[in-house]
Structure 1
Amino acid sequence: MNEMNLRIPRQAATLRLLVEDRIREAIASGHFRPGQRLVERELCEQIGVGRTSVREALRQLEAEGLVVTVPHRGPEVSSITFDEARQLYEVRALLEGFAGRAFAEQGSDAAIRDLKEAVAGFKQAARNGDRAQLVAAKTRFYSVLMEGAGNIFVKQSLTMLHNRITLLRFTSMTQQGRLDDSVAEIEAIHDAIAARDGARAEQACRHHIAMAAKVALAVLEREPRRG
């Protein structure tokens, strides 16, 4: 596994958010694996911040479901079961399908341009093959998609689901052939939205989630059960 530089510049006003983002990114990219202990002292050394900032960040990530505190062990990266993942993907498909339709039918031209740029960013990240860049680009795509839908409650719900799916996203994208398929699928989402075709956009979003779920659930099914 390639070493990941976790250090961040010191900016007091946003330090806690930066620490959260850096740990979240490390989890999403597979640098920290499900079940791995997150030792505060080690995180302080890796990121280059004080223990207070790390503790606050870990509390937020625990609220998001990415971290869990285990008695006598302390914080560790959350694991996700097969059934939890299946249920997450089912709900996500419904909400993202709605978001795709709403974006196509009601989104602004400026938002569609932003979506095109986000797709281009993901394609470039796929060509580069950089873990952190891939996760950041996919996160950007979903952020634009949710914003373009114009429904704050769908956005809030999807943000919560995406935080949990973070535990699986890099796993699914790195399976053989999946990345090329993922690029094609999000291009199809953009094309449907740009054409203002709500039904096609909804179907494209649901198809993308179904394919991601198929790959991620197959990986989970092969892994030994924890606990």
Structure 2
Amino acid sequence: MPKSVDLRLAREETSLRLLLVNRLRDLILDGDLHPGQKLVERDLTELFGVSRSLLREALQQLQAEGLIVNVLHRGPSVAVITEHEAREIYAVRALLESRAGRDFVENAADAHVEALSAAVAALRDPDVQGDAHRQLVAKNEFYAALLEGGGNATIAQLLKQLNNRVTMLRRVSLSQPGRLSETTKELEEIVEAARARDGDLIASLLSAHVDRAAALALAHYDLAPGGAAES
């Protein structure tokens, strides 16, 4: 390493950038910033009280995550997931989660099974049922336990890369009348398959769960060219 170069990180700026990235991500995933919405730098710097350079760094990170697009001469906007992209995402999810279920059955400790069960139990909580954000948190905790118990780092990384766009789509599917109850029942069946250490069954149930979510989300796409999922 060249001794003449100061390689120390600006800790305060790094922390602020991380806070800004997390806040913007939450606004997108919660639907406060909706797909296709233009992001005006001047407005955002005033809203968050940050510099334009710091904002641009945060937007670049979210662009790398697939949550923001930056079109020449138009500037940044919240990404729109097209129907074709959504179909691809769900197809990949089904394959990866099916494999993750088999890995879970083979490798998970009993504590991981209990973590799965606890996440599903949270979805039965009346307070959670009335809060879309807490529903998404519970589902994310379910998948975190599934992936940790499975121990397949490659699948975990691939699903992590998909997770933000999956969450945008999940808001659509979970918002449908009766879907939360159906989702909870499906996840409870997955937990029981995990307890039984039945690899074939858990793989089938996870794949079917994704297929049902896909059907609901895809049904709410505008059929016009370039249509996007309703939020």
TM-score, normalization by structure 1: 0.85
Query: Shift of residue 48 of structure 1?
Result: 4.7
Query: Shift of residue 176 of structure 1?
Result: 1.9
Alignment of structure 1 residues 153-164 onto 2, 5 Å? 153-164=154-165
CA contact (8 A) 1:105 1:197 kept: no
Task: Report the counterpart of residue 186 of structure 2 in structure 1.
Answer: 185
CA contact (8 A) 1:125 1:134 kept: no
CA contact (8 A) 2:62 2:68 kept: yes
- 1:30 is paired with a residue whose SS is coil
Q: Alignment RMSD, CA only? A: 2.2
Larger radius of gyration: 2
Change (3 A) 1:67 1:107: same
Task: Report the counterpart of residue 176 of structure 2 in structure 1.
Answer: 175
After superposition, what is the alpha-carbon deviation per residue over 1:167-186, rounded to whole angstroms, capped at 9, x for unaligned? 31111110122121111112
Query: Shift of residue 216 of structure 1?
Result: 0.6
CA contact (8 A) 1:28 1:169 kept: no
Distance 1:71 1:124 in 2: 46
- 1:68 is paired with a residue whose SS is strand
- Say which is worse superposed, 27-36 or 118-127, in terms of deviation: 118-127
Letter in 1 for 2:137: A
- Say which is worse superposed, 40-49 or 192-201, in terms of deviation: 40-49
Task: Report the counterpart of residue 145 of structure 1 in structure 2.
Answer: 146
Letter in 1 for 2:60: R
**Are 2:113 and 1:112 aligned?**
yes
After superposition, what is the alpha-carbon deviation per residue over 1:161-213, rounded to whole angstroms, capped at 9, x for unaligned? 22222331111110122121111112222221122111111111111100000
Query: Shift of residue 16 of structure 1?
Result: 2.5
Distance 1:150 1:48 in 2: 41
After superposition, what is the alpha-carbon deviation per residue over 1:112-140, rounded to whole angstroms, capped at 9, x for unaligned? 22222222233337744223222222222
Task: Report the counterpart of residue 77 of structure 2 in structure 1.
Answer: 76
- 1:224 is paired with a residue whose SS is coil
Letter in 1 for 2:174: M
Change (3 A) 1:98 1:43: same
Distance 2:125 2:48 in 1: 27
Task: Report the counterpart of residue 7 of structure 2 in structure 1.
Answer: none
Letter in 2 for 1:107: A
Task: Report the counterpart of residue 21 of structure 1 in structure 2.
Answer: 22
- 2:37 is paired with a residue whose SS is coil
Provide structure 1 residue ranges, at least 5 long, that are not aligned to the other structure: 1-10
How many pairs were matched up?
216
Provide structure 2 residue ranges, at least 5 long, that are not aligned to the other structure: 1-11
TM-score, normalization by structure 2: 0.84
